[in-house]
């Protein structure tokens, strides 16, 4: 073993490189934490939703939202949409994505204009994919396509759950019409046979133009939706009759209210007041501003008082809430 003077000295740059391998650089080699994919966010100034679910500790209860400002977020990873209510109380809730009354707020075209989804349309939503929502037109328009269909979330909005959504009506027109029945047919942007989508639609389509061996067909609906493009002129025996049919349109079926008799006293809940699920219980919301409420008259003086009604928040099963409790000290007489 040689002396210290005989030992080979490691250059400074090599020492730094080794330190990097076991130190800071090693940290850089670690896998970065996964980032959740962006969701489909829908801000709404006047949100109307039925039976959103609130979790307050071990308690769970439902509220109706009637014209309150809120933001709804739909994620790929869960069937439950997140609902953040901003006023008059600020709190979080969830709602099954299937029960969201999603509507197309701005008409949108797909496949170069071969399919148009009209403003106000309510197709069958099949899930979020990042900041886009996938959908099907089989139920609403009786159209199926061999490719996925989706729409940007910023072109969507929330409808009113209180109004049933009926199927749009086909718009009739004069002139030649053609029916393909249940046979699948190609639909092109132009009569060149390039990049077709394969469509099945069992209704009537108007013939807008003819070229040798080709037809330009179009079907339109009362909500502005449309199916249009070029397809080979079908032979007379190509029609394939459909067995049965598809019922169009979604119907929102919700239970009615059950009335109860209570005595209500008007008051003002101050901004910032905590809201609990029971007297002295788990706090699940705060008042975002001063808000006029109606209290369930207490039988005796109490530190906590139950709120019977509050603007924009309904109790689905009765005329008074069971899970909105506030401190008596956060109340003042009605203005």
pLDDT of residue 192: 82
pLDDT of residue 242: 60
Q: How confident is the model at residue 162 (pLDDT cuts 50, 70, 90)?
A: low
Name which residue leads in pLDDT, 320 or 132: 132
pLDDT of residue 173: 81
Count of CB atoms situated within 10 Å of the CB of 83: 24
Q: What is the pLDDT of residues 86-133, one digit of tens each?
A: 999 999 999 998 888 899 999 999 999 999 999 999 999 998 988 999
The candidate with the shortest Cα–Cα distance to 40, out of 149, 194, 156, is 156
Per-residue buried b or exposed e for 62-72, using 16+ beta carbons within 10 Å of the residue's own CB: bbbbbebbbeb
Name which residue leads in pLDDT, 207 or 175: 207
- pTM over cut 0.75: no
Q: What percent of the chain has pLDDT over 90?
A: 54
Q: Provide φ and ψ at 330, rounded to 5°.
A: -95, 10
Prior bond to 88 cis, omega within 30?
Answer: yes
* CA–CA dist 85, 316 (Å, integer): 17
Q: How confident is the model at residue 161 (pLDDT cuts 50, 70, 90)?
A: low
pLDDT of residue 32: 42
Q: What percent of the chain has pLDDT over 70?
A: 76
* CA–CA dist 11, 289 (Å, integer): 67
């Amino acid at each position: 073993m040689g002396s210290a003077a005989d030992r080979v000295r490691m250059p400074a740059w090599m020492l730094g490189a080794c330190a990097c391998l076991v130190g800071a650089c090693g940290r850089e080699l670690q896998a970065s934490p996964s980032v959740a994919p962006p969701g489909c966010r829908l801000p709404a100034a006047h949100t109307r939703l039925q039976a959103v679910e609130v979790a307050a500790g071990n308690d769970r209860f439902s509220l109706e939202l009637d014209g309150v400002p809120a933001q709804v977020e739909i994620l790929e990873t869960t069937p439950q949409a997140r609902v953040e209510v901003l006023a008059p109380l600020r709190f979080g809730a969830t709602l099954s994505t299937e029960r969201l009354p999603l509507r197309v707020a701005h008409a949108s075209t797909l496949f170069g204009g071969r399919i148009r989804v009209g403003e106000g349309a309510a197709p069958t939503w099949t899930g979020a994919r990042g900041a886009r929502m996938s959908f099907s037109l089989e139920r609403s328009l009786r159209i199926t396509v061999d490719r996925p269909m989706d729409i940007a979330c910023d072109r969507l909005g929330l409808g009113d759950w209180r109004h049933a959504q009926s199927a749009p009506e086909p718009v009739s027109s004069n002139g030649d019409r053609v029916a393909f029945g249940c046979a699948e047919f190609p639909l092109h942007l132009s009569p060149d046979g390039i990049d077709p989508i394969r469509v099945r639609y069992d209704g009537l389509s108007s013939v807008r133009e003819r070229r040798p061996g080709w037809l330009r067909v179009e079907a339109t609906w009362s909500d502005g939706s449309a199916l249009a493009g070029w397809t080979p002129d079908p032979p007379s025996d190509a029609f394939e009759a459909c067995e049965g049919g598809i019922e169009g349109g979604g119907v929102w079926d919700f239970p009615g209210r059950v009335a109860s008799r209570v005595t209500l006293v008007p008051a003002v809940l101050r901004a910032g007041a905590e809201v609990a699920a029971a007297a002295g219980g788990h706090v699940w919301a705060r008042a975002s501003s001063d808000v006029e409420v109606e209290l369930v008259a207490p039988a005796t003086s109490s530190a906590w008082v139950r709120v019977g009604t509050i603007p924009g928040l309904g109790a689905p099963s009765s005329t008074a809430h069971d899970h909105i409790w506030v401190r008596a000290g956060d109340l003042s007489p009605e203005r």
